[in-house]
Chains A and B, each alone.
Chain A
Amino acid sequence: MIKLTRIDDRLVHGQVAMTWTPALGADCLLVANDKAATDEFLKMTLGLAKPASAKLLIKTLADAIIFLNDPRGQNMKILVLVNSVKDAAALAAGVSEIKSINFGGIRTREGTHSIAKALAVTDDDIAIIRDLLAKGIELEVRQVPTDNKTPIETLI
């Protein structure tokens, strides 16, 4: 069962290990990222950051979709982590269980503008966001679980 799908460009870090994992009672962190799945260095560092109470899976987007659609995942409490709006959309398209996406942190890059603290998006991202909203998927902005959910449509 997917407890949360989160966009966070640091993937696993302090907020995820210390606030989200315990708050959701997650026993599995699934990092869905093509680069991390093939980059041994990234894999190693993500493995270090993993909280002791959960297991960590690092998969390519395609494998993550297969995994999340596998009925054996039903008795796991999964926190899905992606690092871009694009990847979140690809995941949502492939996994019908994803009805809500949490926007955590995306750092500023070339061509982005900040829409909330710790959240910077490009025009392409906004197009994808509108598309997801049109499909009826909830898009909420929250750094940590106790923040108020801010619907993304109020920010763009």
Chain B
Amino acid sequence: MLATYLLLTLIAVFGHFEDFLGTTLLSRPLILGPLVGLVLGDVTQGVMIGATLELIFMGNIKVGAAIPPDIITGGVLGTAFAIMSHKGPAIALALAVPISILSEMVISGLFVFRAVFNKKFNQYAEAGDYKGVQRLHILSGLLKPVLMGVIIFVALELGSTAIKSFLDLIPAWVQSGLQVAGNMLPALGFALLMNLMFNKRVAPYFFLGFMLAAYLKLPIIAIGGLGVIIALIVTQDAPKLAATASNDDDFDFDDTPAETTPVEPQHQLSNGTLRKLFLRSLTLEANFNFETWQNTGFAFAIIPVLKKLYHTKEAMTAALKRHLQLFNTSPYGSTLIIGITAAMEEQNALDKDFDEESISSVKLGLMGPLAGVFDSLFWGTFKVIAAGVGTSLAIKGNILGPLLFLIIFNVPHLLLRYNLTFIGYNAGTKFLQNLSKSNVMDKLTSGAAILGLMVVGAMPATLMNIKTPLNIGSSSSAVGVQGILDQIVPAMIPLGLTFLIYYFVKKQVKTTWLLLGLLALGFAGSIIHLFV
């Protein structure tokens, strides 16, 4: 048993190690579930449970300082206990939800605590000791996987016997109640996604996605493909679509960016150095803390450039101090800022009159806006499509699900992130100016909203399985209500439920309450035989 517990702990540690691996979604339940299944000898169960948890937590994303429940710890422990006790996905989620919320509190505490190292970082910077900065970034980053690993191992070692015997006491009706509730919970995930994307302008695409899935039974991968095509057509043929909102009145409206003085770098850094920037950017979030955020990750990433450019202690000290200032952006677009910064540092090293302050102000000016762009694109679009396709396969136990999930998300992610390093370095702010002068950005965000929403629309019909066993009439001539509903709108109950939860999300009801409410509704519905 000890070996099994150690392996399970390693899986969770691997998940928490994602902060070093560039937010590549390796830590999602859809990926860790199958790994847990592999260790426990039941990959199919692991894939299916992972998909169930993914559906529920798919709307939980990290933006800014808002930390979602720790689904790594909750997912690994929940999946492990569910497989070990042979109780299936319903038990996994009943365990995963509270565990995730508890361990989120531990992690928030760690993010507060980590700020105490900032003094040490500054001492290293003062001494021009970039090696010290690198070392501490990694060591402090390791705190999270190590701490969570210890917690998980202790939980497994102390808890599994108790939890197994506790799970054995659960009567069958509670289990079927949990089952129904578990089928309902994805409505919360979908509603949270809708909340990111749904507005009047793109609402038709949600229903288009739904109809394609509900009536034509198209798989999500096909709907995603159609979504890409429709998004391309709409944004090409109607370039004004995005602009209409701004043209409806001329009431003192101004978002036309004007000329700025571009930074003209003289390029000296080798491609090898730039590749290092990309690779090191993957650890951007490793030492995340609530005081200075990703600052040490940024410093860690830019150090290869500083090493090449600055050969005196004074110059290195000044540069290190500059990059240990607060920083926070979307990891997906971070290399664009890192590349631009590299070009500016180079300029600074060559030109004695260069204004060092401008490096910081460009960094700080870009980090917020670019976070808006890249978070929306990746969380709101690529992640949604990847999760839609991945879970729809995985929920049936297909191992291709997790694989496609990683591929669909990370091929665009890593390609873009890699290339942005070079674009940032070579074109710098000029690239951004061109971008903002063209309407590429508007096209991109509109297209992404169409595509993402079509896939979200398909989700209730494809991924939620709630039916009613009610009959109308007496035993011999009884007519199933579900049959009638199916003839009008297939998947009417999942759709209705998703909109109900969306309504409450709009009313800003807390996610935890909605989770509990859905659990209660599923339970009650199962007991009175309203839902199966």
Q: Are A and B subunits of one complex?
A: yes
A interface residues (Cβ-Cβ under 8 A, vs B): 10-19, 22-23, 25, 27, 40-58, 67, 72, 105, 107-108, 114, 117-118, 143-148
Which of B166-174, B276-284, B374-382 interfaces with chain A?
A: B374-382
Across the interface, B245 reaches (CB within 8 A) one of A11, A53, A117, namely A53
Give the Cβ gap from A71 to chain B, nearest Cβ, in Å: 11
Q: Are A57 and B255 in contact (CB under 8 A)?
A: yes
B510 lies within 8 A of A12 (CB): no
Give min CB distance, B422 to chain A, whole Å.
Answer: 19
User: Please, which residues of chain B bring their CB within 8 A of the CB of A25?
Assistant: 199
What 1/0 mask marks residues of chain B from 302 to 337 whose CB sits below 8 Å from any chain A CB? 000000000000000000000000101010000000
A104 vs B506: C-alpha distance in the bound complex, in angstroms?
Answer: 19
B391 on interface, CB distance cutoff 8 Å: no
- A74-B375 Cα distance, complex, nearest whole Å: 31
| A74 shortest CB reach to chain B, Å | 12
A27–B245 contact, CB under 8 A? yes
In the complex, the answer to whether B195 meets A22 with C-beta atoms within 8 Å is: yes
Give the residues in chain A near B432, CB-CB below 8 Å. 44-45, 48
Q: Within the complex, which residue of A12, A118, A144 is in contact with B290, where a contact is CB–CB below 8 Å?
A: A118
The CA of A111 and the CA of B422, in the complex, are separated in Å by 38
In contact, A23 and B63 (Cβ under 8 angstroms) = no
Instruction: Point out the residue from B198, B199, B379, B508 that lies within 8 Å of A145, measured CB to CB.
Output: B508
Main SS at interface, chain B: helix
B255 touches A49 (CB 8 A): no
Q: What's the Cα separation between A10 and B198 when bound, in Å?
A: 24
The prevalent SS among residues of A at the interface is mixed
Residue pairs across A and B with Cβ atoms less than 8 A apart, 27 shown, are: A11-B368, A13-B369, A14-B64, A15-B66, A17-B373, A17-B376, A19-B196, A22-B199, A23-B195, A23-B506, A40-B257, A40-B258, A44-B436, A45-B370, A47-B369, A48-B372, A48-B436, A51-B372, A53-B449, A55-B253, A57-B254, A105-B64, A105-B65, A107-B326, A108-B326, A114-B290, A146-B510
B297 to chain A, nearest CB (A): 16
Return chain A residues, CB-CB under 8 Å to B479. Answer: none
**Is there an interface contact between B290 and A48, defined as CB atoms closer than 8 Å?**
no
A12 CA to B368 CA in the complex, in Å? 6
Minimum C-beta distance from B335 to chain A (A): 16
Does chain A have a CB within 8 A of B429? yes
- Minimum CB distance partner of B433 in chain A: A44
> CA A149 – CA B432 in complex, angstroms?
36
B510 / chain A contacts, CB cutoff of 8 Å: 146, 148
A14 touches B371 (CB 8 A): yes
- How far does the alpha carbon of A18 sit from the alpha carbon of B435 in the complex, in Å? 21
* Interface bracket on B: 35 or more
Given the interface pairs A108-B291, A147-B66, A148-B510, the reply to whether A43 lies near B196 with Cβ below 8 Å is: no
- In addition to A49-B368, A49-B372, A54-B245, 20 A-B residue pairs with Cβ atoms within 8 Å of each other are A10-B368, A11-B368, A13-B367, A17-B372, A18-B63, A18-B376, A19-B63, A19-B66, A25-B199, A42-B365, A44-B260, A48-B372, A48-B373, A52-B449, A53-B199, A58-B254, A72-B251, A105-B65, A117-B290, A146-B505
Q: What is the bound-complex CA distance between A54 and B108, given in angstroms?
A: 32
Contact of A57 among B195, B242, B252, B508 (CB under 8 A): B252
Residues of B within 8 A of A18 (CB): 63, 196, 372, 375-376, 379-380
Of the candidates A14, A114, A117, which one forms a contact with B63 in the assembled complex, judged by CB atoms under 8 Å apart? A14
Task: Give Cα A60 to B449, complex, Å.
Answer: 31
B253 x A13 contact (CB < 8 A): no
* Chain A residue nearest to B367 in the complex (CB): A10
**Given A14-B372, A49-B370, A72-B251; A41-B446 close (CB under 8 Å):** no
Do A55 and B255 touch (CB < 8 A)?
yes
| Contact residues in A for B379 (Cβ distance below 8 Å) | 18
Known: A11-B368, A17-B372, A53-B201. A146 touches B508 (CB 8 A): yes
State which of B255, B326, B362 has its C-beta within 8 Å of the C-beta of A41. Answer: B362
- Whether the Cβ atoms of A51 and B376 lie closer than 8 Å is yes
Which among A27, A48, A51, A117 is the interface contact of B370 at CB below 8 angstroms?
A48
**Does B112 count as interface, using CB distance less than 8 angstroms?**
yes
Report the Cα distance A50→B368, complex, angstroms: 11
Closest to A67 in B: B252
Chain B: minimal CB distance from A138 (Å)? 15
Report the bound CA distance from A44 to B368 in whole Å.
12
Q: Are A52 and B242 in contact (CB under 8 A)?
A: yes
Q: Which one of A11, A12, A55, A67 has the highest number of Cβ atoms from chain B below 10 Å of its Cβ? A: A55
Q: Point out the residues of chain B lying under 8 angstroms from A117, CB to CB.
A: 65, 108, 111-112, 290
- B251 surroundings in chain A (CB, below 8 A): 72
Residue of B111, B252, B292 with most partner-chain A CB within 10 A:
B252
Chain B residues within an 8 Å CB radius of A51: 372, 376, 445
Q: Which residue of the partner chain B has the closest CB to A147?
A: B66
- B13: chain A residues within 8 A (beta carbon): none
In the bound assembly, the distance between CA atoms of A147 and B108 in angstroms comes to: 14
Complex contact B245–A13 (CB within 8 A): no
B446 CB contact (under 8 Å) in A45, A52, A146:
A52
- At the interface, yes or no: B441 with Cβ under 8 Å from chain A? yes
Complex Cα gap A56–B372 (Å): 14
Chain A CB within 8 A of B211 CB: no
- Distance of A120 Cα from B477 Cα, bound (Å): 70
User: How long is the Cα–Cα vector from A141 to B369 in the complex, in angstroms?
Assistant: 22
Within 8 Å of chain A (Cβ to Cβ): is B129? no
Does any Cβ of A come within 8 Å of B80's Cβ? no
Q: Does chain A have a CB within 8 A of B176?
A: no
A12 / chain B contacts, CB cutoff of 8 Å: 368-369, 372
